[in-house]
Amino acid sequence: MALNDPASSEFKIGLRHERPGQAKVWRGDFSRRIGDDWTIESTLNLFSDVNAQPALSGFARDSYLEVQLKRNLH
């Protein structure tokens, strides 16, 4: 979703739900300009109940939140 504001705010979120093991994989992205030269971006990957799904059990400890502050050079 793009909010169409002056700061170009955008976010996306998604969920993948595996049955029958009830494993869930969440993904989210966010970005926003701060002034003319800076942008903040974040990414979230969250693995929930993946131990119940053998194909996903290797991701049980791989959840993370990443935040980046970027300077745009003109």
Owning domain of residue 51? 10-71
8-57 confidence digits (pLDDT tens): 899 999 998 877 778 888 999 999 999 889 999 999 999 988 887 777 77
pLDDT of the residue at 69: 97
Asked if residue 2 has pLDDT above 80, the reply is: no
The dihedral sign for the CA sequence 65, 48, 61, 21: negative
* The two structure tokens encoding residue 42: 């974040």
**For the chain, what is the domain count?**
1
- The count of C-alpha atoms lying within 13 angstroms of the C-alpha of 63, restricted to the half-sphere facing its C-beta, is 12
Residue 30 included in any domain:
yes
Residues in the chain: 74
**34 part of a folded domain:** yes
Residue 41: per-residue pLDDT: 96
- Give CA–CA dist 64/66, Å, rounded: 6
Q: For residue 41, tell me if it sits in a domain.
A: yes
